[in-house]
Amino acid sequence: MSVDDNLSLAERGRASHRCELALLALMSVVLFALFFVSLFVGPVSIDLFSSEWTLFGGSSSVAAVILQEIRLPRTILAIFIGATLGISGAALQGLLRNPLAEAGVIGISGSASLGAVIAFYSGAAAIFPLALPIGGITGAMLAVIFLYLLAGRESSILTLILAGIAVTSLSGALTALALNLSPNPYAATEIFFWLMGSLADRSFEHVQIAVPLMVIGVFSLISCRRGLDALALGEDTARSLGVNLNRLTLRIIVGVALSVGAAVSVAGGIGFVGLVVPHLLRPFVGHQPGKLLLASALGGALLLLVADIAVRLLSTGQELKLGVLTSLIGAPFFLYLVLKTRRQLL
């Protein structure tokens, strides 16, 4: 982005707007391409050209069933879950004015897992499928409200992270307890899924129950962009600029709870996407919290889809959990951010 010094403010404004649009367009194009790549990566090799038509329609050929029932829902979930994780990270960071805020780090994912685990293993989800995302959303909502009451918008990074550790440990322990209490002998080993997250063998049932809720959550968060921009100048200034802080906070809490809660309930707690993506994209949108939202949604979708393709390519035998890969990338990144913001911590 090179802008001539002689340009007027309006021209500069339009130029940077074009830059941002170009970034979004580029990410969309790459995402579109990766969508097809994702459909053709798996343990069974499917001929790209002869089977493209089988993406839709009711054929029950091997290729059609694998594409339609296994890879398509998986790809759709990767895109939507990545988008919700990215945008909710950006929104939380904007609200708390804190680059370390992320659904997994501050315990929202863990708490959503607990809600989903209770809904699933109690059998509620078998009777009423929407109980699964509702459980996840309830868990996420309780965690956001608790953190917000405890740490607040203007609290230090340290308070927030410590509160997050407390929420994560407590919800992790309760999740383990719930799984141990389950009469099903397989339940206890499934804590890995809920803590790390995976998209293996998901189906359209999961798309149906989770994606609509995630979309509502994402729209709720995108509607916050002006408010988040103004909030960069602090609460008083934002309010003096006409931002209704209570409404903004409510929208973000509801948006994060809906999107993260629904995502976790079908794929477990995939970590660090919401931390890495906004941080990488912030310079490209001039650090504006509002503009970061949509960019982070696309970036999150890209990152998670790439990670999921990588998991499928790397795995022989039983699949590596997707969350293991995102955490392997994300945790050192988190450490780097902590070191970078250490001065603020102390």
Partner 1 sequence: MEATDQLAWSVAFQLASSDRINLSPHIIVLMRWFILYFVFILLPELALAAKPQRVVSLNLCADQLLLQLSEPESIVSLTNLSVDPELSYLAKEAAEYPVNSGSAEEILKMNPDLVLAGSFTARPAVSYLKKKEFRVVELSIPESMKAMREQYLKVADLLGEREKAERQLREMDRRIAQAKSSGDENLVAAVYYANGFTAGKKSITTEVLNHAGFENLSEKSGVDSFGFYPLEKLIEAEPDLLILGSYNKDRHSLAQKLLDHPALKRFWGESDRGQARVIIPDALWICATPVIAEAVEILAQKRKEIVSRR
Partner 2 sequence: MKHLDALEISVEFGNQLVLDNVSLSIPHGKLIGLLGPNGAGKTTLVRALAGLQKLDSGHVELDEKPIPMFDQQLLSRRIAYLAQGAECGWPLAVERVVELGRTPYLHQRRRLDENDYSVIEKVMQDADISHLLGRTVSTLSGGEKTRVMLARALASEPEFLLADEPVASLDPLHQLEVMELLSNVARGGGAVVVVLHDLNLAMRFCDRVVLLNNGTLLADDVPEKVLNNEMLKRAYGIEAKFIDVEGGRWVLPWKAI
Residues of this chain that interact with partner 2 (CB under 8 A) are 3, 5, 8-10, 12-13, 17, 97, 223, 226, 229-234, 236-237, 239-244, 282, 286-289
Q: Minimum distance between the CB of residue 181 and partner 1, rounded to whole angstroms?
A: 12
Q: For residue 313, which of 30, 43, 39, 36 has the smallest C-alpha distance?
A: 43
Nearer to partner 2, 77 or 292 (CB): 292
- Return d(Cα 304, Cα 309) in angstroms, integer: 8
Q: Which does 28 bind (CB under 5 to 8 A by kind): partner 2, partner 1, none?
A: none
How far, in Å, CA of 216 to CA of 211, rounded? 9
**Short-list 41, 207, 27, 31, CA closest to 129:** 207
Residue 268 or 330 with smaller CB distance to partner 1: 268
Among partner 1, partner 2, none, the one that 44 touches (CB under a kind-dependent 5 to 8 A) is: partner 1
Neighbours of 263 (CB within 10 A): 35
Q: How far apart are CA 296 and CA 85, in angstroms?
A: 9
Residue with smaller CB distance to partner 2, 107 or 227 = 227
Q: Quick one: which of 179, 287, 180, 281 has its CA closest to 232?
A: 287
Q: How far is the C-alpha of 121 from the C-alpha of 124, rounded, in Å?
A: 8
Token representation of residue 89: 């990270």
CB of 224 to partner 2, least distance (A): 10
Measure the CA–CA gap between 22 and 51, rounded to whole angstroms.
33
Q: Least separation, in Å, of the C-beta of 259 and partner 2?
A: 19
Binding partner selected for residue 203 from partner 1, partner 2, none, CB under the kind-specific 5 to 8 Å limit: partner 1
- From the list partner 2, partner 1, none, partner contacted by residue 231 (C-beta under 5 to 8 A by kind): partner 2
CB neighbours (10 Å) of residue 129? 15
Q: Of how many residues is the chain composed?
A: 346
Separation in Å, CA 267 to CA 145, 222, 262, 330, 342: 23, 23, 9, 18, 33
CB of 140 to partner 2, least distance (A): 24
CA neighbor of 25 nearest in space, from 294, 251, 240 = 294
Whichever of 193 and 333 has its CB closer to partner 1, that residue is 193
CB of 128 to partner 1, least distance (A): 13
**Nearer to partner 2 among residue 77 and residue 238 (C-beta):** 238
Choose among partner 1, partner 2, none what residue 146 binds, the Cβ cut-off being 5 to 8 Å by kind: none
Query: Among partner 1, partner 2, none, what binds residue 233 when CB lies within 5 to 8 Å by partner kind?
Result: partner 2
Least distance to partner 1 from the beta carbon of 125, Å?
A: 7
The residues that touch partner 1, with contacts defined as CB under 8 A, are 42-44, 60, 62, 65-66, 69-70, 120-123, 125-126, 182-187, 189-190, 193, 201, 203-205, 317-319
Of the pair 122, 156, the CB lying nearest partner 1 is at 122
Distance from C-alpha of 133 to C-alpha of 125, rounded to nearest angstrom? 9
Question: Residue 291: which residues within 8 A CB-CB, separation 6 or more?
Answer: 20, 225, 229, 285
237 is in the binding site of which of partner 2, partner 1, none (Cβ under 5 to 8 A by kind)? Answer: partner 2
Tokens of 262: 């629904």
Q: In the complex, what is the shortest distance from the CB of residue 99 to partner 2, in angstroms, rounded to a whole number?
A: 9
Shortest approach of partner 2 to residue 12 CB, angstroms? Answer: 7
Measured from the CB atom, is 112 or 297 closer to partner 1?
A: 112
Residues 275, 105: Cα–Cα separation, whole Å = 8
Find which of partner 1, partner 2, none residue 186 binds, CB within 5 to 8 Å per kind.
partner 1
